[in-house]
Amino acid sequence: MLPNELIHLADTVVDSLESTQALSEDSIRRLHATFPDTLILAALDIIDRQNVVKNVSPWGHTNYEVSGSTATYTVHVNLSVTPLSSYCNCPTFVYAVLKSGSHAMCKHVLATRLAIKLNLCVEGSHSVDALASHPVLRHGGSR
């Protein structure tokens, strides 16, 4: 399957899930038919640990941060002007999604997409002072 087709299929499966706080057996079957078991388990573990944080700025911009096993990554979802619907600044996304096209998304993107769908994001806060001290904004890099 071509990378763009894989991404479209993955997006369709995630978008088709019910918006409840638990995955139905049918939803789990659809995820297993689309993603490797290790990716699903890693994403669900991130959600269980409450490591998907949704930050909303005072002017309404939404930003997601995911605490991974080695760092905190910024995840962008619902991108409309790019061929990809989501983006993560982790090394796996760069190599497995962007370079090789072997995966549709990394565990951080899947965790974020599922947490949004299941209403399981931890609400963070981004006051103007917090934004001014944010390392990404100060240095242009990831935390």
pLDDT digits (tens, 9 = 90+) for 38-51: 999 999 999 999 99
As a whole number, mean pLDDT of residues 113-140 equals 71
Provide φ and ψ at 31, rounded to 5°.
-65, -45
Q: Tell the residue number behind the tokens 């769908």, with chain if given.
A: 117
Domain boundaries, the chain: 3-139
pLDDT of residue 135: 54
**3: confidence class by pLDDT, cuts 50, 70, 90:** low
Give the mean pLDDT of 79-88: 81
**pLDDT at residue 98 greater than cutoff 70:** yes
Residue 58 has pLDDT above 90, yes or no: no
Nearest-10 Cα torsion for 110, 111, 114, 120: -170
Predicted pLDDT at 127: 61
The pLDDT of residue 131: 57
